[in-house]
Amino acid sequence: MDKQTAIQRIQELHQQLNQYNYEYHVLDKPTVSDTEYDLLMNELRQLEELFPELLSEDSPSQRVGGKPLDAFEKVEHTTPMLSLGNAFNEEDLRDFDRRVRQTTGDAVSYVCELKIDGLAVSLKYENGLFSQGSTRGDGTIGENITVNLKTIRSIPLRLKEAVSFEVRGEAFMPRKSFEGLNEEKQQNGEEPFANPRNAAAGSLRQLDPKLAAKRNLDIYVYSIADTGEIKVDSHEEALNLLEKLGFKTNPERRLCSNIDEVIAYVEGWVTKRPSLQYDIDGIVIKVNSLYQQEELGYTAKSPRWAIAYKFPAEEVTTKLIDIELSVGRTGVVTPTAILEPVKVAGTTVQRASLHNEDLIREKDIRIGDIVIVKKAGDIIPEVVNVLEERRTGEELEFHMPTHCPECESELVRLEEEVALRCINPKCPAQIREGLIHYVSRNAMNIDGLGEKVISQLFQEKLIEDVADIYKLEKEQLVQLERMGEKSANNLIEAIEKSKESSLEKLLFGLGIRHVGAKAAKTIAQHFETMENIQAATFDELVAINEIGEKMAESLVTYFNTPEVSELLSELKELGVNLSYKGPKLVNVADVDSYFAGKTIVLTGKLEQLSRNEAKAKIEELGGKVTGSVSKSTDLLIAGEAAGSKLTKAQELNIEIWDESRMVEELNK
């Protein structure tokens, strides 16, 4: 066969196999036998072997999995993958509806979708071709798992139209696939997966894509991350468009005209849930109008236009064998119930939080009690109550200790707190937990240095504070359990790389009381260097927006401690960056620009700059870029295919520029 004939035949096979794949895995209506499909696939592979230059990334043959990876690279989400607020009852749903209508002032319709219990993923397409797939990660940074996502046959490698956009979906393992996988694991003498969600997550994080391909995962796509060039006015329209382009969306969704219809839909699925061939843990309710979604906007963590109703948690009975105590990085002593193993919501539970002594007293929980356990939000196990009628008289009352179970220091209860706290700064448990926090994803993000490795290093006295992490040598690491030479090399590289982290990561990693990740970034951006933060007064700190008196007091106390000054000096000597690397704050008074002090919205497709580039340039000139149009918006910059934001700006008589005018002003 000559090359031209091969090109034509390969194109025909692509078209045929993609259509058959779509009919089988998306529509669930196969039109050819497995034998016929396999024959066509074998023909395609033979042609690609004869003419390797004709093998393309979107070929149906690429779904079987490529070469194993060494590791997953980190990727930043263009649009953050936010979490959703939760509702647990009818009252919560009605409160959500009330808040929505107070803002929009209009009648509101909602789209209800089943909340699949799987792994949230993001899929990027360029000119209709699948270019990148990633995990949610922390919502801002995920992992590139493109090769594994290609093995999910319901993900189209080529769309029916050449569009460029990013979509979000939930990858999951159907119950049938889960049962088959666990049966195989048991036959091989391996530990079975606890539930389909863990199995799906584990499959997509396999470094060998061929293993992922064997797991028979599926996906439902549930939103377009940024409509960009896509012209749709509602969430329902977006889902219909995704179907038209070749994606698999959940057919059980429903458009509801009011909150009463939403509640009826939710109540129906509480009982119908077991009939599905996959696991769900709730219902997602979204405002249908994209215009209203923009108007409602976002909090720091979640959209105001959506909420997740969580199904009532499954409750089971078991025996409370003992109560253990643990000391956190802030010194709080937390009691934990040790239970006879019991299955709850698909996983085996042996421990449950008891929170504090007051809760134990309130529920009269005793060692030896028969208790009812549930998973709060289907995630965290907790003791609901005690079955007092089943007591034998042998149960033991529990009393919190007067001294720290780790260091024997006297415990204190601070004013207005229910928790007992160890205030010894040299308490081993606090130091160990502080080290675990320091290396975590939202802090210094040191890959390979998890809780188990930190605990081993601490136990072997190889590390006593965060500075010791940067003194570790490969020879010390290879002696640890399950730490080979390659893992040790990778860990040393990850530690070295963490030295380059921006100041806010270090500030959060130090575990200063009341200082979360967001506050750390605000402080780092304002002061720019660790030296400036150390010198900051209480008044200078509280003058910063979002920094309250408690946080300011905590920061001043922390940085006035001699040991802290010594630690920071040591980190500097070891090469750890102590400066802020992100976008600088702009003093509007010092900027001679039209954008200074103005609130600006970008919409539509920009040709000369990406949206992120335009945002960065505007912010450098003192402007504030927001995601939604409101009365406080000063300027809307409209690219091609601008939609509802442009309409709203016109209604509010907001100044509107095109991209050329923006670029002209930026270049002045």
CA distance 249 to 81: 19
From the list 291, 272, 289, the residue with the least C-alpha distance to 280 is: 272
Query: Would you tell me how many other CB atoms lie within 10 Å of the CB of residue 615?
Result: 18
Q: Is position 617 annotated as part of the catalytic site?
A: no
CA distance 628 to 633: 8
CA distances from 360 to 254, 388, 578 (A): 43, 14, 44
CA distance 115 to 580: 39
Sheet strands (E) in 117-177: 119-126, 129-135, 141-143, 165-172
Burial 274-294 (b: 16+ CB within 10 A, else e): eeeebbbbbbbbbbbbbbbbb
The distance of Cα 105 from the centroid of its chain, to the nearest Å, equals 32
Q: Taking CA 539 as the corner, what is the angle to CA 537 and CA 540, rounded to the nearest 5 degrees?
A: 65
CA distance 193 to 188: 13
Task: Kindly tell me the burial class for residue 367, based on how many C-beta atoms sit within 10 Å of its own C-beta (0-12, 13-18, 19 or more).
Answer: middle
Instruction: Exactly one of 29, 67, 115, 648 is catalytic; name it.
Output: 115
Question: Three-class SS of residue 411?
Answer: strand
User: What would the two tokens of residue 218 be?
Assistant: 């599926």
Scanning 543-633, the segments in alpha helix (DSSP H) are 549-559, 562-573, 611-620
CA distances from 234 to 111, 237, 240, 499 (A): 10, 5, 10, 45
Q: Just list the catalytic residues.
A: 115
